[in-house]
Amino acid sequence: MSLDDAIETVLQKVLQRIRPTEEERAFVEGLMRELEGIARDTIESLDLDVKPYFVGSLAKDTYLAGDHDVDLFLAFPLDTPLEELRERGLELGRAIAERLDSHEVAYAEHPYVRATYRGVKVDLVPCYDVKSWRDVRTAVDRSILHTKWVLDNLRGKNDEVRLLKRFLKGINAYGSEIYVRGFSGYLAEILVIRYGSFLKVLESADFMLRQKVIDPGNWLKREHEVAMKTVGREAEADRPLIVIDPVDPRRNVAANLSWEKYGIFYFKSTQLLENPSEEFFFPMNRKIGNYLSELRRKGTHLVALLFEAPELVDDVLLPQLERSARGFERALSREGFNVLGWNVGRKSGKAFIMLEVDRRERERVTIKPGPEFFTERGRDFYLKNERVWLVGKRLFAEKNVMDDIVEVISELLEKNQVATGKSIRENIRNAEITLDYVPKELEDEAYLFLSREKWNLKG
């Protein structure tokens, strides 16, 4: 079997798993019609001038089998004041949700209603009824334009998008959330439209990085100045890709895509093209080993901080954990410990920060550099220290310090000398600190981290 045939076989198998069945499709379409009816009824009964739009992968028919959450946008006229939109929008969302199974209010830039109906999650999001990028006022307003653009341009490539999304999920590069920094669904759709197919997107992994700017809306001609400003700004920020949003020349669709996730996409694309396998789309669980053996093999040590995770969504919590881990890295390096890597996350209600360090004890005495000897401060330093010597004109003395890394960390936290995330500072202060030990439920995580299998591009 040729390589092309082998790839085709794999893609067909994958498609069988991710393409919605006729049954699911019928269910989803019935659901949408029903929801639209309810929405229109409610709008009318409240005497509002609002249009309901379906957006997202359901509306574009690019959703994966079994993954059919509904995004129903409630578009107010452009002349509605923002305050009124927020108020009436929430009111309307609630009134619609009353007729569904259950609901709660969620918060993004504006509050919106998150409901469930017949086992499906339904988001009811108020927005403006924009016709052009010049009208855009809130972050969600573009969704209607995105949906329209994709529907106008996809030309039956829906399954190609499904393949790309599933591939990105499989290699852990799907989602533009701040703690993923991967490819959004919309970006996947644009790439398929731009390069023509799933495989062509993969084959272009190197080319598009070099080309850097992708402009499917032809904005560089139509709105040269605005588009060039976007390109300049995003190039300055050193993004891997600059994909000018076909519905808004001010926006880089790939603004949240990190180099790490692009790199994974880059290597995995080649791998799939050379060694096709369903595993790229549906990876098996990584082989797990013993984290203690891993520590012995490497001759390093693991410090883990465990604490109650505060009531924060991952979008907020994870960046705070990352910032804190970097804070520990810097603070410990000042104290003579080398942090080889770190890993953060949340598991069974607890948040954790793991630090891989070069040793568990440092020397008990460090050399303290002092001022120049012939100064006021030099004389003080001379008087205050027991053994003092010179290197050039500078005084030096010994300083006794704690040698155990857990004690050092405790003291750093006590003295507030670790730059931690603001909203988890108190939790970290009260964290349980363990050395070369993690509780049962974190053992796999510790192994994946220490072995670097968690991020292994070859895994």
- Binding-site residues for CTP sit at 57, 60, 146, 165, 174
Long-range contacts of 192-198 (CB under 8 A, 24+ apart): 192/154, 192/157, 192/160, 192/161, 192/164, 193/150, 193/153, 193/154, 193/157, 196/157, 197/157, 197/160, 198/11, 198/160, 198/161, 198/163, 198/164, 198/167
**With respect to a second copy, which residue has the nearer C-beta, 262 or 307?**
262
From candidates 222, 224, 364, 422, binder to a second copy by CB under 8 A = 364
Angle of CA points 101, 105, 108, to nearest 5°? 130
Q: Which run of H or E residues covers position 458?
A: none
| Per-residue mark of binding to a second copy, 7-46 (x: CB under 8 A) | ----------------------------------------
- From the list 111, 240, 289, 371, which residue makes contact with a second copy (rule: CB under 8 A)? 240
Question: How do the residues of the chain divide into helix, strand and coil, expressed in percent and rounded to 5?
Answer: 45, 20, 35
Task: Please choose, from the candidates 229, 381, 357, the residue with its C-alpha nearest in 3D space to the C-alpha of residue 301.
Answer: 357
Footprint (CB under 8 A) of a second copy, residues 371-390: 373-374, 382, 386-390
Instruction: Please tell me the distance from the alpha carbon of residue 444 to that of residue 14, in angstroms, as a whole number.
Output: 28
Q: Which of 79, 221, 391, 415 binds a second copy (CB under 8 A)?
A: 391
CA 151 – CA 78 distance, rounded (Å): 23
Q: What pairs with residue 116 in β-bridges? A: 102, 121
Q: Identify which range of 85-93, 227-235, 306-314, 357-365 contacts a second copy by CB under 8 A.
A: 357-365
Q: Which stretch binds a second copy (CB under 8 A): 10-18, 64-72, 295-303, 316-324?
A: 295-303
- How many degrees, rounded to 5, is the angle at CA 335 between CA 330 and CA 339? 50
- Report in angstroms how near the CB of residue 324 gets to a second copy at its nearest: 17
Nearer residue to a second copy within complex by CB, 31 or 257: 257
Tell me which of 17, 25, 359, 425 binds a second copy, using CB under 8 A: 359
x/- mask, a second copy, residues 253-292, rule CB under 8 A, reads -----xxx--xx-xx-------------------------
On whether the CB atoms of residues 29 and 59 are closer than 8 A, the answer is no
Residue 424, token pair as written in the block: 């988890």
Sequence-distant (6+) residues with CB within 8 A of 211 are none
- Does position 179 bind a second copy by CB under 8 A? no
For the chain, the farthest-separated pair of C-alpha atoms sits apart, in whole angstroms, at 88
**Cα 53 to Cα 36: distance, rounded to the nearest angstrom:** 8
Q: Does 404 bind a second copy (CB under 8 A)?
A: no
In the annotated binding site for Mg(2+), the residues are 69, 71, 123
Q: In angstroms, what is the minimal distance from the CB of 343 to a second copy?
A: 12
Cα distance between residue 214 and residue 252, in whole Å: 10
Shortest distance (Å) from residue 437 CB to a second copy: 18
Q: Which residue, 282 or 373, is less far from a second copy as judged by CB?
A: 373
The single-letter code of the amino acid at 259 is: W
Contact criterion met (CB below 8 Å) for 241 and 262? yes
What number of other Cβ atoms are within 10 A of residue 134's Cβ?
8
Is 305:438 a contact under the CB 8 Å cutoff? no
Least separation, in Å, of the C-beta of 114 and a second copy?
35
**By CB under 8 A, is residue 237 in contact with a second copy?**
no
> What is the end-to-end Cα distance of the chain in Å, rounded?
26
- Which of 385, 434 has the CB closer to a second copy? 385
Q: Residue 367, interface with a second copy (CB under 8 A)?
A: yes
d(CA 177, CA 324): 19
Q: How far is the CB of 210 from a second copy (least distance, A)?
A: 8
Size of site (CB under 8 A) for a second copy: 50
Question: How far is the C-alpha of 191 from the C-alpha of 207, rounded, in Å?
Answer: 13
- Interface residue with a second copy among 137, 224, 229, 393 (CB under 8 A) is 393
- Binding residue for a second copy (CB under 8 A) from 338, 416, 417, 423? 338
Q: Please, what is the minimum distance in Å from the beta carbon of residue 359 to a second copy?
A: 6
Among 13, 287, 297, 330, binds a second copy (CB under 8 A): 297
User: Does 451 interact with a second copy (rule: CB under 8 A)?
Assistant: yes
Give the residue numbers of the binding site. 57, 60, 69, 71, 123, 146, 165, 174
Site string for a second copy, 184-223 (x = CB under 8 A): ----------------------x--xx-------------
Which region among 75-83, 303-311, 325-333, 448-456 touches a second copy (by CB under 8 A)? 448-456
Q: To the nearest whole angstrom, how small is the minimum distance from the Cβ of residue 172 to a second copy?
A: 12
In the complex, the residues that contact a second copy under the rule CB under 8 A are 206, 209-210, 240, 258-260, 263-264, 266-267, 297-300, 336, 338, 340-341, 358-359, 361-367, 373-374, 382, 386-393, 395, 398, 403, 451-453, 455-459
